[in-house]
Chains A and B, each alone.
Chain A
Amino acid sequence: MVGMRRETLQAYLLLLPAIVLLVAFTHWPAVATLIDSLYATPHGSRPPPFVAADNYQGLIDDPVFWQALLNNAWYAIATIPTSIVLALLMALAVNQALPGRAMLRMAYFLPTMLPMIAVANIWLFFYTPDYGLFDSIIALFGGGRHNWLGDASTALPAMIVVAVWKEAGFFMIFFLAALQTMPTDLKEAAALEGSSRWNYFRRVTLPLLMPTTLFVLVNAVINAFRVIDHIIVMTRGGPDNATTLLLFYIYETGFRFWDTAAAAAATVVLLTIMALAAAFQFGVLRSRVHYR
């Protein structure tokens, strides 16, 4: 270290604690997951044998894994556009002078402040057959009993509704932030030219919101694969794996069946999906969206 400049040494010392923790709990485990996915699950103290792609073959042969992947794809496809469109509508609504604007903004944003597990508890009751809120309301109109979470055809949509309710208000904040930094002179100019509000929205507001939309989109993708709290509380992946998402599959494989090698291989798949989302963001950012 003799030749090192003083500033360099200081900088490294300042960075050391944060970088060590970051690497130890994010980068290293990501690499370790990749390595572990090539070995068998360790038993006892003997080092596990190298099995190359066996764990991945195991995933390919496991119908539950495919179902988790498919469920997660549907969950993402349904949750992401719905919550983004709702978030945009909410932001547009509370960005203008409106009776009770502060109250509305709070109504939209409140679910974001609740823990997902609290949200799950509340909605669990809505979905309860007979006694639950939905069945009680349906009964008023003479309808019968629905086992919303026990029926494989309604369980995943039920989870999607919960996720949209929880997330839309969070994404609204980012659109609202972008709308509030938008230049007002554009709006005045458009008004002078007699351009309709819809036209103004389509031609000016929407393009200016592109970077925000992209940012929200990537966050929504990550959340669709990262948050499984409601699954754990409400359905445990059931019925018949109808609500098993990828991370829930990993959680079950790793901590209920203790098959850590298979869980590692599935984690690699999950990391790949997230890396693709990240690559998409940077790719699009470089090529198309050049505002801000």
Chain B
Amino acid sequence: MMVAHDPIGRHLETVGAWILGILWMLPLLYAVWSAFHPAAYATHFDPLAPLTLANFKAAWQAAPFTRYLINTVILVTLILAAQFVLCTLAAFAFARMVFPGRDLLFAIVLLQLMVMPDVLLIENYRTVVQLRLADTILAIALPYLGSAFGIFLLRQTFLTIPQPLDDAARLEGCGLLARLWRVYVPLARPTYIAYGLVSVSYHWNNFLWPLVITNSVTTRPLTVGLAVFATTDQGIDWSIVTAATLMTSAPLLIAFLLFQRQFVQSFMRAGIR
């Protein structure tokens, strides 16, 4: 196996990679197949089978998916906005300010990278109930607003921004927040995009905590709504269930297909730390 010329090995690798790729695509392709065909063709792969949108229509009418969609959009927007503001402020303090206890506080923040709120269901449920916020969209968001990941990512970026830029802004009479807004935030834009995409896709898909803390149509995000729909409302009509499944994942999937490069690069950027 030489590096330069080894056509057979290369071809075998390509074939192997594609077999794996097709295997990986099959479940999704199958879901698309069954969602767009009548239930009778769910496991009957006739290329001439009639296409239909009836499954989507039936799913959309069988449960309040419009409301679930609105809830999810509110949820991810709320989380993203709060995370951007809070993480920016904290990251700036950690990156560019000197104060007693800085390293200790930073270590405390980093602990959350290991112990995520997802596993502390019982205590967080108790806290939210005590705050009288159970079954609200704010309650779903609360445990994720202070994000160690976001603080860390932004701090690393802020550290790479040349100090002279900051000094220049200071000489022009900019206060702390003005410097942050005019110097740091614009220069950290790629990090914000990366973090934003990771955060939105995480919270669009998050399930367990929303399941625990919500109990009504007006608060449930899409994931919980889909689970409720698939387990209780629907018997065994798989075509409708897969249609609902695709519907709830569609906005994120379409965004991903359109901005594939940005998504992949964002996940990469967020992973390198």
A interface residues (Cβ-Cβ under 8 A, vs B): 5, 7-8, 10-12, 14-15, 17-30, 32-33, 36, 86, 89-90, 93-94, 98-100, 102-119, 121-126, 128, 131-133, 136, 165, 168-170, 173-174, 176-178, 180-181, 187, 190-191, 194-198, 200, 215, 222, 225-226, 228-229, 232-233, 247, 250-251, 254-255, 260, 263-264, 267, 270-271, 274-275, 277-278
Give Cα A170 to B268, complex, Å: 10
Report which B residues bind A (CB closer than 8 A).
1-4, 6, 9, 13-14, 16-18, 20-22, 24-25, 27-28, 30-31, 34, 42-43, 86-87, 89-90, 92-94, 97-100, 102, 105, 108-109, 111-112, 114-127, 142-148, 151, 176, 201, 204-208, 211-212, 222-223, 226-227, 230-231, 236, 238, 241-242, 244-246, 248-249, 252-253, 256-257, 260, 263-264, 267-269, 271-272
Note all chain B residues with C-beta closer than 8 A to A255.
121-122, 125, 212
What's the minimum C-beta distance from A228 to chain B, rounded to whole angstroms?
A: 7
- Show 20 A/B contacts (Cβ-Cβ < 8 Å), sorted by A: A11-B99, A14-B93, A19-B90, A26-B115, A26-B117, A26-B120, A33-B120, A93-B17, A94-B17, A98-B14, A111-B27, A116-B207, A177-B268, A195-B3, A198-B1, A247-B119, A250-B119, A250-B121, A254-B125, A260-B126
Cα distance A270–B122 in the bound complex, in angstroms: 13
Note all chain A residues with C-beta closer than 8 A to B249. Answer: 113-115, 118
CB B190 to nearest CB in A, in angstroms, measures 14
Closest CB-CB distance, B33 to chain A, in whole Å? 10
Whether the Cβ atoms of A26 and B43 lie closer than 8 Å is no
Within 8 Å CB of A12, what residues of B? Answer: 99
Instruction: Report the bound CA distance from A185 to B143 in whole Å.
Output: 46
Which A residues are CB-close (under 8 A) to B241? Answer: 121, 125
Query: A118: which B residues are within 8 A, CB to CB?
Result: 223, 226, 245-246, 248-249
CA gap between A61 and B211 in the complex, in Å: 29
In the complex, A15→B4 CA distance in Å? Answer: 55
Q: Return chain A residues, CB-CB under 8 Å to B264.
A: 105, 109, 173, 176
Q: Is the CB of A165 within 8 A of B123?
A: no
Chain A residues within 8 Å of B145, by CB:
21
Q: Please name the 5 residue pairs, one residue from A and one from B, whose CB atoms are nearest each other, closest first.
A: A21-B146, A29-B123, A115-B205, A93-B17, A22-B146
A186 to B21, CA, bound (A): 29
Give A160 Cβ to nearest chain B Cβ, in Å.
15
Q: Is the CB of B14 within 8 A of A99?
A: yes
**Structural contact, B268 and A8, CB atoms closer than 8 A:** no
Residues of B within 8 A of A106 (CB): 257, 260
Complex CA gap A170/B241 in Å reads 25
> Which of the residues A24, A174, A191, A260 comes within 8 Å of B271, measured between beta carbons?
A174
